[in-house]
Amino acid sequence: MAAAFELSRLKIVLAGARNPLNIGAAARAMSNFGFTQLRVAHPYEEAFREARSAVGASEILAKAEKYDNLAEAIADCSLVVGTTTLRNRELQHPCEILLHGAALIRNHMARGQAALLFGSEKVGLSNEELSHCHWLMRIPTREEHPSMNLGQAVAVCLYELARDAAVVRPVANLETASAESAERMTALLLRGLRSSGYLGRDSGASTEEKIRRMVRRLNLSAEDAELWLGMLRQMIWKCEQENKK
């Protein structure tokens, strides 16, 4: 099993969890496999409170961080992976099966922080939530019954991630841009597209999600992200000068 400091680089993020038993089960699986960082994004308040106050609630649960929105919950992560069953959803992202996806996440953990997202019990991750992801990961379940219980899905993913975490390969690579700077780039690009007239003022959420996904696919390094932010700012300034006239 990998060093503890390394497993702490993976944030397990539950988005919109409704059932306190599932939140508790996720925390228990984390403890079984040595992960410590649990975050919940826009949870049902009562579910989160109940899970924390349950008899035998773990230290992980006590220290779990609550965020009002997903963007904040993943801001410090440079890799964001969403879990999905792909049921009833068009494939907008590359999708890896767990075996390979876990290897990619482990590689990333050697040099930066990663987030693994699980959606609500009822509907999984929404399109808006998925648009924050670099890629998706799927547990190879049966097509006729792909949808897993949340606590069980967390356990299976963490088992695979911890299984031979000892063989994390160091990759000589650039530091990847954080989700926060990818999101800043998304916001600036949208502003540029609006001020240039590429997008109408009233372009909707689906356009925004499309642009967000596209920015994530760039897999920018931290350095390149800064460069892009500077270039976009200047182009926006110019476009907005024109619009003032």
Of 192, 209, 212, 229, the one binding its own copies by CB under 8 A: 192
Span from 68-76, 123-131, 200-208, 231-239 in contact with its own copies (CB under 8 A): 231-239
* DSSP character string of 27-42: HHHHHHHT--EEEEES
Contact positions with its own copies (CB under 8 A) in 144-163? 145-149, 151-153, 155-156, 159-160, 162-163
Q: Does 189 bind its own copies (CB under 8 A)?
A: yes
Q: What span, in angstroms and rounded, lies between the C-alpha atoms of 41 and 69?
A: 5
The residue whose two tokens read 């799927």 is 138
Contact positions with its own copies (CB under 8 A) in 91-110? 91, 94-100
Q: What span, in angstroms and rounded, lies between the C-alpha atoms of 85 and 180?
A: 27
Tokens found for residue 95: 């999708």
Tokens found for residue 160: 């695979």
- The pair phi, psi for residue 114, each rounded to 5°, is -130, 155
Helix, strand and coil content of the chain, in percent to the nearest 5, comes to 50, 15, 35
Q: Does 72 bind its own copies (CB under 8 A)?
A: no
Q: Does 89 bind its own copies (CB under 8 A)?
A: no
Q: Does 187 bind its own copies (CB under 8 A)?
A: no
Q: Does 119 bind its own copies (CB under 8 A)?
A: no
Cα of 172 vs its chain's centroid, Å: 23
Q: Does 3 bind its own copies (CB under 8 A)?
A: no
Element (H, E) at 83: strand 79-83
**What is the nearest approach in angstroms of its own copies to the Cβ of residue 227?**
6
Q: Are strands 37-41 and 10-15 parallel, antiparallel or unpaired?
A: parallel
Q: Which residue's CB is nearer to its own copies, number 33 or number 48?
A: 33
Q: Which residue's CB is nearer to its own copies, number 112 or number 146?
A: 146
Q: What span, in angstroms and rounded, lies between the C-alpha atoms of 182 and 226?
A: 10
- Give the binding site for its own copies (CB under 8 A): 1, 21, 25, 28-29, 31-34, 91, 94-100, 139-142, 145-149, 151-153, 155-156, 159-160, 162-163, 165, 168-169, 171-174, 189, 192-193, 195-198, 214, 217-221, 224, 227, 230-231, 234-235, 237-239, 241-242, 245
